[in-house]
Structure 1
């Protein structure tokens, strides 16, 4: 017998429930101190003397007290403050792009365990325009199109807790980052669209973007909102609509109205924080409680000047794999630590 999920009926308060009118750059910008900068440069010099593949690098290989302090500040913001933070910035002018990527890997590792971002095990993901058309099986992150508010990997049992972006090269124009507090989004829906919340607590089919084994289902089912002492949001209207298209299920009037309300609510500029990531800056977001978006952009004509960001996913929960391991012959989950 199924039970209806409990629906939160009170608004969120405090730092997490920020809006454009209440958030300030000082809430999310984390400057790199002189001591921390020197420590980072010393780490790069250490790397040059002691080569090692990136995936084997660990924070404990090098004494980094100032960097650890920096990342504890970032963690506090992600969990208790603005829910997103920008480290300003890595001294990238004194290192190569691969060296900057390793330093960034170390920063992310101080927050938790980096995990694969694709079914094939890809750990380091380049966010850049490949020239591909945005269609089934193509992620918007490898195009130049506008990306609406969403969280990453919401079609999985184990979305990343934190999503990181290192800016190696910004676009010639456009490509602005937009952030949205899901607690504030929930408050708006509770105030203006309370009749649609029950539907948003029930599962939708999400397009899995072909990130699965060949014989696995092409969609997965999850609600947009879940609350068990803490809000967790799976918001991506585009993937939901594509999920319905894949399954052939009709979108009933209740579902259509809920999706329209969700889309309209996320379109309110008064909920947004918007800025441009510059070279050397690192953004981390709380993937459960923050929606992120990106405006479309125009690249420089020279390939070496094209927009390039490096994305990492971090979570300590669940298996290290992209999806829950399955015993093929029985199609049963394995227990993997």
Structure 2
């Protein structure tokens, strides 16, 4: 049984105690460069690659392990700085990012297209439209967690203005809710329904139930995304209606997540890799203005990872995550286009990582009644 020690932190703590920020050394960077050069000679499609196709030296492997371990410790986050994206092409950056991910865990599919490596950039989409996804817009995003153990954002290009990343300790926010309104805090342990925004497997219903605060006895875990709660209320008549008290609880949670005591802002620079534990941190982003030139536009690459040392999840999160065992392959949005190549990758990578992989089947729980 793993021991996990994430603790509540405040914005001022993250500002002054920067052990969560790690700078790559020259030797570590050289390890990533050499691995990329080798991977380019191998020339395999991403889903056919194994870690040996991106062979890291001991220094680079150690840097990745420290970074991932930091996401599972006190902060629930890590900022790894110094990946040489300034001298890597866009294709090189994509290959290197996928390659380093092979040393960290098992990638998850992220959307209705079942993509494994998403481009986070403005392509003119609308965030709050039906089935809208914020990563394809320049909009300010609501606070949310992604559907995996760890989300990695590699910054290739920063915006001209804005696009700041905001991170909050979910433990600290829930502690404050319990202090000021214990009655509302308790409601977060009950059932809440979220829209899949069209990214479910064809065998799944278009919404799912996931209490915002899970019921694990030892490991804290929170999951929230109000935009998708509202979408489920608006789009699906059979989803139970939110009570006034539940809406008040969500309002208070929104208020606390934006409170400067809890909300820490950071500007991601080219070469920064932000890694967030989705059970103990909540994140968002400010709106941004972009450059006109295509290759100067804000561009991040996003990986969703299941990792070997992740905590057990609450039993009442099984419907959404598919597996709640510590260190199991779980999470992701299955989408409609999972390929046989991805299934083969998933099984092979899980075995290489020593991670349990349960054969997938939809878990549909009965609708909660008031």
Is this a same-fold pair by TM over 0.5?
yes
1:151 partnered with 2:139: no
Say which SS state the counterpart of residue 154 (structure 2) adopts.
strand
Match among 133, 138, 144 for residue 132 of structure 2: 138
1:146-173 deviation per Cα after TM superposition (whole angstroms, max 9, x unaligned) = 1121101xxxxxx310001111111110
Residue of structure 2 equivalent to 1:268: 259
**Shift in CA distance, 197/68, structure 1 to aligned 2, threshold 3 Å:** same
Residue of structure 2 equivalent to 1:8: none
Q: What is the CA distance between 1:109 and its match in structure 2?
A: 2.5
Say which SS state the counterpart of residue 13 (structure 2) adopts.
coil
Structure 1 gaps, min length 5: 1-13, 153-158, 326-333
Say which SS state the counterpart of residue 119 (structure 2) adopts.
strand
Say which SS state the counterpart of residue 265 (structure 2) adopts.
strand
Q: How far apart are the structure 1 equivalents of 2:222 and 2:253?
A: 12
Contact conserved, 1:176 with 1:294, CA < 8 A, in 2?
Answer: yes
Residue of structure 1 equivalent to 2:165: 177
Match among 160, 181, 201 for residue 148 of structure 2: 160
Residue of structure 2 equivalent to 1:246: 235
1:49 partnered with 2:41: yes
Q: What is the CA distance between 1:64 and its match in structure 2?
A: 2.2
Residue of structure 2 equivalent to 1:279: 270
1:113 partnered with 2:110: no
Match among 271, 284, 306 for residue 315 of structure 1: 306
Q: What is the CA distance between 1:280 and its match in structure 2?
A: 1.3
1:94 partnered with 2:83: no
Q: What is the CA distance between 1:237 and its match in structure 2?
A: 1.6
Residue of structure 1 equivalent to 2:198: 210
Q: Higher strand fraction: Structure 1 or Structure 2?
A: 1
Say which SS state the counterpart of residue 293 (structure 1) adopts.
strand
Residue of structure 1 equivalent to 2:349: none
Q: What is the CA distance between 1:268 and its match in structure 2?
A: 0.7
Say which SS state the counterpart of residue 110 (structure 2) adopts.
coil
Residue of structure 2 equivalent to 1:35: 27
Contact conserved, 1:218 with 1:246, CA < 8 A, in 2?
Answer: no
Q: What is the CA distance between 1:56 and its match in structure 2?
A: 2.5
Contact conserved, 1:207 with 1:242, CA < 8 A, in 2?
Answer: yes
Q: How far apart are the structure 1 equivalents of 2:76 and 2:166?
A: 13
Contact conserved, 2:109 with 2:334, CA < 8 A, in 1?
Answer: no
Q: Cα RMSD over matched residues?
A: 2.3
Residue of structure 1 equivalent to 2:340: none
Q: What is the CA distance between 1:15 and its match in structure 2?
A: 6.0
Could you tell which deviates more after superposition, 51-60 or 229-238? Answer: 51-60
Q: How far apart are the structure 2 equivalents of 1:98 and 1:297?
A: 24
Q: What is the CA distance between 1:203 and its match in structure 2?
A: 1.0
Q: How far apart are the structure 2 equivalents of 1:320 and 1:263?
A: 24
Residue of structure 2 equivalent to 1:70: 63
Say which SS state the counterpart of residue 270 (structure 1) adopts.
coil
Structure 2 gaps, min length 5: 308-327, 337-356, 361-370
Q: What is the CA distance between 1:324 and its match in structure 2?
A: 11
Q: What is the CA distance between 1:319 and its match in structure 2?
A: 5.6
**Shift in CA distance, 213/26, structure 1 to aligned 2, threshold 3 Å:** closer
